[in-house]
Structure 1
Amino acid sequence: MAPRELVVSPNTPMPPGYTFLKKGIKYKTLHCRRLTHEAGKTVYRVEENKKVLGIRVPKSIFFRVQSLANETLPARRLATEQRDAALVRSAAAELDHQFPDIPKVDRENVLNHGFKKYSGRVGRTGQIPMPRKVLYAVIAHIRHRHTEYDHMLRDGIPRDEARKAVQKRLQSILHQWGTTQDLAWYFNDTQDSPL
């Protein structure tokens, strides 16, 4: 029985009947890999300097997945939009709960900026529960929009020092916006904060 996956270099000759699928297209990669395994064929993972570049799969499977991807694209886009809208609704409800007095313009900026798709911002991570995502997004917003934090960084002040310098202003605004949380844990341990 042939191994289900082999690691090869980009210079390794292409097996007969195979083609290359570059990394980064999750739907196609997942389906090509699954269907190749189901067909009892080998998936060749192409790596260079321990970095995955993509996979080599049978052409027939690649073209079948390509066709499926085109057919299902509208439905997948709609599902993604619905998930994204649900995430923002959840964030908005949590934001209103934690910060009932946040000004409308700040509320919209937090939601639009902190939860922007493909931004890599804390609001998009799946690793942190929603209440913390919202808190971190609000703290980042205040720090960058309502304090001199960015100017301090540009002036060469170290990050931790700049954070300490704006801490009182940040806490004051958090309380103005209606938080009743005790945030001492955050301000005593900002080293581990993703912000």
Structure 2
Amino acid sequence: MPRREFIVEPSTAMPKGYAFLKKGIKYKTLHCRRLTHEAGKPVYVVEDKKKKVLGIRVPKSILFHVQSLANETLPARRLATEQRDAALIRAAATELDRRFPLIPKDDREAVLKHGFRKYSGRVGRTGQIPIPRKVLYAVIAHIRHKHTRYDEMLNEGMDRDAARKAIQGKVQAMLRKWGATEGED
């Protein structure tokens, strides 16, 4: 089977009939790559000298087609994303209420707002772990940062692991105070 993707530098001449799609829009990248492969044409992955991917080069006709599809489907894709995000927050809120029935309302709202904020890279947004564990980790992080001297310890030069160990008792006490129940972690 012939190679279908080639790594090139930004200075490499653009193949005839090709256009550049910069990295960052997953919908367009996925569809351009798939349609280019289906057409039996090569995809050129543009990397800088540090091996950072900048984007891909694909046939212009495919890029224009995908851009048109992206514009047509944007409202539906946005709605689907909003619905998924709302469902995640509802599931997290339900689990939070079940697992920590005595958590104060302000803390509950802060955990949901901060721990599950979109594009934050926080544990609540990962798809790799189940919701009970996401909630537990988000609550622990909230307690650590809002109810202990953890951040002060770090600012004073304490090692992260040492600071976490130093506050572990306080975190466990707060979890018990909030009525922590066992989850399915």
TM-score higher than 0.5 here?
yes
Q: Residue by residue, what CA displacement relative to the aligned partner does 1:63-113 show, whole Å, maximum 9, x if unpaired?
A: 111111111111100000000000111111111111011111100100000
TM-score by length of 1: 0.89
After superposition, the Cα gap between the structure-2 partners of 1:65 and 1:101, relative to the gap in structure 1 and judged at 3 Å, is same
CA offset at residue 43 of structure 1? 1.0
| Structure 1 residue ranges without an equivalent (≥5) | 183-195
Check the 8 A contact 1:2/1:41 in 2, yes or no.
no
Check the 8 A contact 1:4/1:37 in 2, yes or no.
yes
Alignment of 1:1-195 (within 5 A): 3-48=3-48, 49-181=50-182
**CA–CA separation in structure 2 for the residues paired with 1:41 and 1:142:** 53
CA offset at residue 50 of structure 1? 2.2
Work out the percentage of aligned pairs sharing the same amino acid: 75
Classify the secondary structure of the residue corresponding to 1:140.
Answer: helix
Amino acid at match of 1:117: K
Q: Residue by residue, what CA displacement relative to the aligned partner does 1:149-183 show, whole Å, maximum 9, x if unpaired?
A: 1111111122122112211111111001001339x
Classify the secondary structure of the residue corresponding to 1:44.
Answer: strand
Classify the secondary structure of the residue corresponding to 2:24.
Answer: coil
Check the 8 A contact 1:142/1:173 in 2, yes or no.
yes
Check the 8 A contact 1:147/1:166 in 2, yes or no.
yes
Query: 1:190 — aligned with what?
Result: none
Classify the secondary structure of the residue corresponding to 1:7.
Answer: strand
Aligned Cα root-mean-square deviation (Å): 1.6
Classify the secondary structure of the residue corresponding to 1:128.
Answer: coil
Runs of 4+ in 1 over 3 A off after TM superposition: none
TM-score by length of 2: 0.94
| Structure 2 residue ranges without an equivalent (≥5) | none
Aligned length: 183
Amino acid at match of 1:13: A
CA offset at residue 25 of structure 1? 0.8
Classify the secondary structure of the residue corresponding to 2:46.
Answer: strand
